[in-house]
């Protein structure tokens, strides 16, 4: 009978799990080492595997483990590092999965003003909720089955389109929803910062210096 077991993803143990197993708290240097080693293991084993089912499990890593578990390991790492970049890619996908309509609205507006970034991001047209959700999956999938630098650049471009769209939509709220407009403007600025960090990470990966 054929083996119907799910493909085994690389081991993913958080600092809390390691502390529980060892009985001693990890120091910050050890926490950092665990984060970087886990990121490298996931990327390395995912890219080496020819099993599409395993790669799909990696795309859905946050769905399986939960945001809190992934955050414990990667969220505090520097933005321009392998675990920091992976954290941003997965959180970008998580946001799109949770609010595809909002992502679609921001992207649709943004592509009018950021056509080059739109081309790099590679969203299908028209970029409806299903299309942007598929793009989020495709970007993360590219980490494991394509050029990781391209995946990072696509994510950066996606952030830039979303940021431009969100900023323009915030302008439309002026005088109607000042608090909402201010919040949208702030998050648009944060997305630009994220885009810049992802672009720097892509450049380091191309130079074999992203760790």
129: in domain: yes
Tell me how many domains the chain contains. 1
1: in domain: no
Q: For the CA atoms of the chain, what is the radius of gyration?
A: 18
Tokens of 81: 């590092």
* Domain coverage including residue 39: 15-206
| Helices and strands counted in the chain (H then E) | 11, 0
10: in domain: no
Taking residue 164's Cβ as centre, other Cβ atoms within 10 Å add up to: 23
CB-CB contact of 75 with 38 (8 Å)? no
27: in domain: yes
6: in domain: no
**What are the CA-CA distances from residue 93 to residues 13, 96, 97, 133, 173 (Å)?**
22, 5, 6, 8, 26
How many Å apart are CA 155 and CA 122, to the nearest integer? 10
**For residue 170, what pLDDT is reported?**
84
5: in domain: no
CB-CB contact of 156 with 166 (8 Å)? no
The per-residue DSSP string of 49-107 comes to ---HHHHHHHHTHHHHH-HHHHHHHHTTS-SSSHHHHHHHHHHHHHHHHH-HHHHHHHH
How many Å apart are CA 93 and CA 91, to the nearest integer? 5
pTM: 0.87
How many Å apart are CA 127 and CA 122, to the nearest integer? 10
**For residue 14, what pLDDT is reported?**
64
7: in domain: no
**For residue 1, what pLDDT is reported?**
41
**For residue 177, what pLDDT is reported?**
76
196: in domain: yes
Q: Walk along the chain (211 residues) and give the pLDDT tens digit of each residue.
A: 444 556 656 666 666 665 555 555 667 888 899 899 999 999 999 999 999 999 999 999 999 999 999 999 899 999 999 999 999 999 999 999 999 999 999 999 999 999 999 999 999 999 999 999 999 999 999 999 999 999 999 999 999 999 999 999 887 666 667 887 888 899 999 999 999 999 999 999 999 999 9
């Amino acid at each position: 009978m054929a083996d119907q077991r799910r493909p085994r993803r690389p081991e993913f143990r958080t600092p809390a799990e390691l502390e529980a197993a060892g009985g001693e708290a990890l120091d910050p240097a050890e926490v950092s080492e665990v984060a970087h080693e886990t990121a490298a293991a996931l990327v390395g084993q995912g890219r080496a595997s020819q099993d599409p089912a395993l790669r799909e499990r990696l795309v859905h890593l946050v769905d399986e483990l939960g945001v809190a578990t992934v955050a414990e390991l990667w969220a505090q790492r520097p933005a321009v590092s392998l675990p920091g970049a992976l954290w941003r890619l997965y959180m970008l996908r998580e946001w799109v999965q949770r609010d595809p309509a909002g992502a679609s609205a921001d992207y649709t507006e943004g592509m009018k003003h950021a056509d080059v970034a739109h081309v790099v991001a590679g969203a299908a047209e028209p970029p409806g909720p299903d299309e942007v959700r598929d793009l989020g999956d495709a970007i993360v999938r590219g980490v494991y089955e394509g050029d990781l630098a391209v995946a990072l650049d696509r994510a950066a471009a996606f952030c830039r389109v979303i940021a431009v769209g969100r900023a323009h939509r915030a302008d439309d709220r002026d005088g109607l929803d000042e608090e909402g407009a201010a919040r949208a403007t702030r998050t648009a600025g944060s997305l630009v910062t994220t885009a810049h960090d992802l672009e720097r990470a892509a450049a380091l990966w191309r130079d074999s210096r992203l760790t």
